């Protein structure tokens, strides 16, 4: 790709730490990939000495695909392009024994973590909500607060109970040789901090580190980078403080500013030329974001032409807003032959989507909503992954509990309760407890025989997977338990059962691809299982749908995407900015969220708002978003800002025009 002077400077600078302040649409992915290629081709860096870190699978796959077009397979060999969590998983896989992890550890997804916390809460007779506890523990881990530290800082009974449950949860994870999603960052940091030999090994490996979306890093991710690159700071951080919109996930935009403190010789290069949007869109976006304080000043510009004026349409109510947007999309689709997939409807909160779905369906406009259910959310996929987890880590109690009666083995809840209690008393896993001599004092007869039969079968299957044809063993496991017959029994119709069976076939085909992948061949089943679990957690952040459908999504989900024609809907006070942010006085992030939405648009950008909106069963008047007042008047057309009679006449004229278009199409 041809690089502009700032991009070229960012690619070729490597003597000191570098912050690339990359505005929306400024070609940051190209800069990162070109820099990797330049370090390998021109500076003779070994690919094994370069680590590039992203936040999503989609971003890392895009970088890898670009580099494969430029570098030879030999130049790519050993190059690490990964998400933060995949890098952490790799570090724990190689050196986790330093902090007590055994080979074959498993990763608890959010559902499994919630299940474990629910059981701990029940056991302790606590009234704490498991989701609140999960979020609290996640925040503690990302801030490096230990259970002991959390307990010492507790100021009320709720915090004290949460800290005690945090300690019990960590004990359970270690007993099961498992980690959760947050551990994939916090534990590698702990490992690097406390074990000099491990730290020296990794610092010796990393000659240059590139980090994408640096403004989205939390405290743990920032510290992981700091530990890996040492005080010399052999890194390139790419970020944009104006696009930091994930504080609720723990992201800290101040991490960009902290780089200047931790690395006094930091160089800053700004990428301000935008290759996506028209000049008018960028002028308006700059005007909105200019009201936020900035450590690094920048202003996006474009040479793509002035472009169409932005539009702000004031609608009578919520349904009117949705119908107007649908009519606009339909008209442009037929009059200008615009693809459905070129349109995006962006909103602040998920509840806003319902009216737009209804309007699009009524006009037979195809659409897709980002954030639908994951492949990994399906019960049959969760079942299969649980069995695979047990094959590589029989001490995974969460997987054990899912598998023990799937299919049913006539092992009742009272038997499982006794088994669990015995395992806790002995501080061993439930699988290990099945063979413990003392179990016979708690469980006897057929229940004991059934438990031991399951444990023996599992041991044999795990041994076979380690010694023989891994794929054949995996398939054999599901044949042994007659899983296909089980799916036919539990589904209430043959079509549903068939879909579930097809899903299991898709997962087995995926496993086969992972086992035979040229880049990763000969990897053990444990690595395949960890890759699948991590892919599940990370894929929920990605929207890989490229169908020819109108795309509907929240403003948060839209980050990193772009569309020719964007509708930002619900531009009202208490929606954008959100009521919670107004009350908490955190408007700055809401302004950044608005800026992110605006800079998704390439050719046209339309704002809509309702004068009245129904919420919680009541209809109330709505004030226009304060962000609309920031737009330069010369670049915006305001529609519907008339008295009631004129507004209704304007709306009626629009409906007549649409009706004429539909009649014309019907005649064809």
Tokens of 313: 């349409």
Within 8 A by CB and 6+ apart from 589, the residues are 244, 245, 247, 581
The span from the CA of 668 to the CA of 591, in Å, is 46
Tokens of 311: 């539009």
Please report, to the nearest 10 degrees, the dihedral formed by the alpha carbons of residues 662, 663, 664, 668 taken in order: 100
Q: Residue 250 — left, alpha, or beta (φ > 0 → left; ψ -120 to 50 → alpha)?
A: left
112 secondary structure, DSSP code: H
Per-residue CA distances from 201 to 192, 207, 352, 362, 398 (Å): 10, 12, 51, 61, 34
Q: Are 345 and 569 in contact (CB under 8 A)?
A: yes
Per-residue CA distances from 661 to 197, 293, 364 (Å): 73, 48, 15
Please report, to the nearest 10 degrees, the dihedral formed by the alpha carbons of residues 261, 265, 269, 270 taken in order: 20
625 secondary structure, DSSP code: P
Per-residue CA distances from 97 to 28, 171, 212 (Å): 37, 16, 29
Question: Tokens 């996930």 correspond to what residue?
Answer: 249
Per-residue CA distances from 216 to 55, 149, 219, 240, 595 (Å): 8, 26, 10, 9, 16
Pairing of strands 601-615, 208-211: unpaired
Within 8 A by CB and 6+ apart from 515, the residues are 470, 471, 521, 523, 525, 528
Per-position DSSP letters for 382-396, written without gaps between them? HHHHHHHHHHH-TT-
Question: Tokens 């704490």 correspond to what residue?
Answer: 128
Q: Are 548 and 493 in contact (CB under 8 A)?
A: no
> Which residues have a catalytic role annotated?
28-29, 212-213, 243, 600
Phi, psi of 440 (to 5 degrees): -65, -20
The span from the CA of 350 to the CA of 352, in Å, is 5
Question: Which H or E element spans position 262?
Answer: helix 254-262
- Work out the number of other CB atoms within 10 angstroms of the CB of residue 40: 21
With CA atoms as reference, report the closest residue to 99 among 194, 17, 175: 194
The span from the CA of 538 to the CA of 283, in Å, is 34
- H helix and E strand count, the chain: 29, 16
């Amino acid at each position: 790709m041809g690089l502009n002077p700032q991009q070229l400077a960012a690619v070729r600078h490597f003597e000191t730490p570098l912050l690339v302040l990359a505005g929306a649409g400024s070609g940051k992915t190209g800069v990162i990939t070109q820099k990797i290629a330049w370090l390998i081709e021109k500076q003779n860096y070994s690919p094994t000495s370069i680590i590039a870190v992203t936040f999503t699978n989609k971003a890392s796959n895009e970088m890898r695909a670009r580099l494969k077009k430029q570098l030879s397979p030999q130049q790519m060999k050993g190059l690490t392009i990964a998400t933060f969590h995949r890098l952490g998983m790799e570090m724990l896989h190689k050196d986790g024994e330093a902090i007590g992890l055994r080979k074959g550890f498993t990763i608890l997804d959010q559902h499994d973590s919630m299940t474990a916390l629910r059981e701990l809460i029940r056991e302790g007779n606590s009234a704490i909500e498991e989701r609140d506890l999960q979020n609290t523990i996640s925040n503690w881990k990302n801030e490096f607060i230990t259970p002991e530290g959390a307990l010492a800082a507790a100021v009320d009974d709720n915090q004290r109970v949460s800290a005690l449950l945090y300690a019990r949860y960590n004990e359970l994870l270690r007993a099961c040789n498992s980690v959760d999603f947050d551990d994939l960052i916090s534990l590698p940091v702990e490992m690097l901090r406390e074990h000099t030999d491990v730290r020296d090994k990794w610092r010796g490996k990393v000659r240059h580190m590139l980090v994408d979306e640096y403004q989205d890093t939390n405290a743990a991710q920032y510290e992981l980078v700091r530990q890996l690159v040492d005080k010399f700071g052999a890194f390139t951080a790419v970020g944009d403080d104006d696009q930091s919109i994930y504080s609720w996930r723990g992201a800290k935009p101040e991490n960009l500013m902290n780089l200047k403190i931790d690395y006094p010789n930091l160089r800053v290069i700004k990428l301000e030329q935008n290759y996506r949007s028209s000049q008018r869109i960028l002028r308006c976006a700059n005007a909105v974001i200019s009201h936020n304080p900035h450590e690094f000043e920048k202003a996006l510009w474009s040479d793509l032409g002035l472009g169409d004026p932005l539009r702000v349409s004031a609608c009578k109510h919520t349904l009117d807003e949705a119908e107007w947007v649908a009519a606009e999309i339909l008209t442009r689709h037929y009059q200008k032959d615009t693809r459905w997939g070129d349109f995006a409807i962006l909103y602040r909160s998920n509840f806003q989507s319902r009216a737009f779905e209804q309007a699009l369906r009524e006009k037979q406009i195809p659409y897709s909503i980002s954030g639908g259910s994951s492949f990994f959310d399906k019960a049959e996929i969760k079942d299969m992954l649980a069995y695979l987890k047990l094959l590589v880590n029989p001490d995974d109690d969460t997987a054990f509990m899912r598998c023990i009666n799937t299919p049913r083995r006539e092992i009742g809840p009272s038997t499982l309760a006794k088994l669990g209690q015995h395992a806790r008393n002995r501080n061993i896993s439930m699988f290990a407890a099945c063979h413990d001599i003392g179990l016979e004092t708690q469980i006897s007869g057929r229940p004991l025989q059934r438990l031991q039969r399951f444990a023996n079968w599992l041991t044999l299957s795990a041994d076979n997977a380690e010694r023989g044809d891994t794929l054949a063993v995996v398939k054999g496991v599901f044949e042994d338990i007659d899983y296909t017959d089980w799916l036919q029994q539990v589904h209430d119709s043959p079509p549903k059962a068939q879909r579930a069976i097809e899903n299991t076939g898709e997962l087995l085909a995926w496993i086969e691809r992972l086992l035979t992948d040229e880049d990763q061949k000969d990897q053990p089943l444990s690595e395949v299982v960890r890759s699948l679990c991590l892919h599940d957690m990370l894929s929920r952040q990605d929207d890989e749908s490229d169908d020819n459908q109108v795309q509907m999504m929240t403003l948060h989900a839209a980050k990193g995407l772009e569309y020719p024609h964007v509708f930002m809907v619900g531009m009202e006070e208490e929606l954008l900015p959100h009521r919670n942010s107004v009350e908490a006085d955190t408007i700055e992030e809401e302004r950044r969220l608005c800026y992110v939405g605006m800079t998704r648009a390439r050719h046209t950008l339309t704002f809509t708002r309702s004068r009245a909106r129904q919420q919680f069963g009541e209809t109330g008047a709505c004030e226009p978003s304060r962000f609309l007042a920031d737009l330069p008047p010369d670049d915006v057309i305001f529609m519907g800002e008339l008295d009631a009679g004129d507004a209704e006449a304007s709306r009626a004229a629009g409906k007549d025009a649409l009706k004429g278009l539909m009649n014309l199409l019907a005649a064809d």
